[in-house]
Amino acid sequence: MGDNTLGTKFRITSFGESHGKVVGVVIDGTPAGLKIDLDYIQRELNTRKPGQSSFTTARKEQDRVEALSGIFNDRTTGAPICLIIKNQDVDSSNYESSKNLLRPSHADYVSLQKFGDFADFRGSGRFSGRITAGFVMAGAIAKQLLSKVNISILAYTKSVGNVEDNKDHSINDLEPLLQRRKKSPVGALDIEISKKMEKLIEITKKANDSVGGTIRCIINKLPPGIGGPIFNSLESNISKGVFSIPAVKGIEFGAGFRASRMKGSEHNDPWTIKNGEIKATKNDSGGIIGGISTGMPIVFTVAVKPTPSIGKIQKTVNIKTMEEDDIKIEGRHDPCIVPRAIVVVESIAAIVILDFLLIEGKIPSVLKD
């Protein structure tokens, strides 16, 4: 429970609203002695910051990370770390005017059902994608710690609409992939595919519409034996985290839904010996069998729905008059949320994996440089 807390030993608690004072996170359970690079956290934040390219919302935010606690002499102390960003470019006027019109596939209706009319509706409040800035700040700390044990994580845009990258990019060294991703404004790994995606997003934007996509995430060098059968499976905990990201509607590990169409003789990953170590010959299991890491890269793919905020006129209901009405959503919106969600998926992956490693005693509670 706790709508706003994730994790057991590495535990994050999210707070803040889209148009409130801040978006923040409390990060509990970070071992003492970790050198914190606030610039790195800032760079991570910047990749999900609005207003970065024509593909994203025009909202302009500094999103400057500020540490309120838990860091002393540039290192973690073992105390809870509170990080915030302040909200600045807050223009709630568009939200006020259409307050009574339920935006289709937005949380307006369910929010009323759950919170009555008390919720801070401005900018979608707690339902805003902006809340994930907290995940990113926590994820950046998790990543800094994971890198100490050589674990790296990379996510990328696998598809936008029907434009899809079908290559298997799960390789031993993620650094070259990272370099390639940097060149793509939409977070793709293949420059040709990136261009097609950009084109599709532009067309969609002009049509006052939005489009969905998929994100693939690779976790490298997770040692074998992490996770557990049934309720503590890697899949259970990764999926719990990933579905916390607004707009995510599906997740699959390894071959995933494709596996449902395969024979066992196709899908099974035979074991072999490479350099004296046991490895699978392929990785349709996505690095997880029986809920536990095999030592192969963890690979999962996330389905992201199209942004529900579109400029097109839509049918809906006026909650005050209880009559049907048209709605035209004004304001600044992302025609495709996928590029900004990449770092969020990575962050959740980092948070969940670090929690497993801390629980299983694979990382000490005090770090020595």
Residues 3 to 22 in contact with a second copy, rule: CB under 8 A:
3-6, 8-9, 11, 13-17, 20-22
Does position 38 interact with a second copy (CB under 8 A)? The reply is: no
- In this structure, are residues 205 and 55 in contact, taking their beta carbons and an 8 Å threshold? yes
Write down the least CB distance from residue 302 to a second copy, Å.
Answer: 9
Instruction: Calculate the alpha carbon distances from 337 to 104, 250, 328, 334 in Å.
Output: 17, 15, 19, 6
Residue type, 196: K
Write down the least CB distance from residue 76 to a second copy, Å.
Answer: 7
SS3 217: strand
- In this structure, are residues 296 and 280 in contact, taking their beta carbons and an 8 Å threshold? yes
37-45, 145-153, 175-183, 312-320 -> range binding a second copy (CB under 8 A)? 312-320
Does position 98 interact with a second copy (CB under 8 A)? The reply is: no
In three state form, how does the secondary structure of 82-105 look?
Answer: EEEEECCCCCCHHHHHCCCECCCC
- Select from 316, 339, 349, 353 the one that contacts a second copy (CB under 8 A): 316
Beta carbon nearer to a second copy, 33 or 185: 33
Nearest alpha-carbon partner for 156 in 266, 309, 40, 300: 300
Write down the least CB distance from residue 65 to a second copy, Å.
Answer: 14
- Select from 126, 130, 216, 340 the one that contacts a second copy (CB under 8 A): 126
Does position 75 interact with a second copy (CB under 8 A)? The reply is: yes
Beta carbon nearer to a second copy, 178 or 203: 203
SS3 280: strand
Question: Residue 113 and residue 339: Cα distance in Å, rounded?
Answer: 31
Residues in the interface with a second copy (CB under 8 A) total 151
Residues in region 275-294 near a second copy by CB under 8 A: 276, 278, 280-281, 284-286, 289-294
Write down the least CB distance from residue 27 to a second copy, Å.
Answer: 9
Query: In the structure encoding, which two tokens stand for residue 327, read together?
Result: 């709605």
46-54, 79-87, 145-153, 190-198 -> range binding a second copy (CB under 8 A)? 79-87
Residues in region 164-203 near a second copy by CB under 8 A: none
Residues in region 226-265 near a second copy by CB under 8 A: 226-233, 235-237, 239-241, 243-244, 246, 248-257, 259-265
Question: Residue 121 and residue 99: Cα distance in Å, rounded?
Answer: 8
Nearest alpha-carbon partner for 343 in 157, 69, 180: 157
- Select from 42, 52, 94, 209 the one that contacts a second copy (CB under 8 A): 209
Does position 90 interact with a second copy (CB under 8 A)? The reply is: no
Q: In what order do the strands lie in the sheet with 5-6?
A: 5-6, 11-16, 22-28, 81-86, 66-69
The alpha carbon of residue 49 and the mean position of all alpha carbons in its chain are separated, in whole angstroms, by 13
Does position 211 interact with a second copy (CB under 8 A)? The reply is: yes
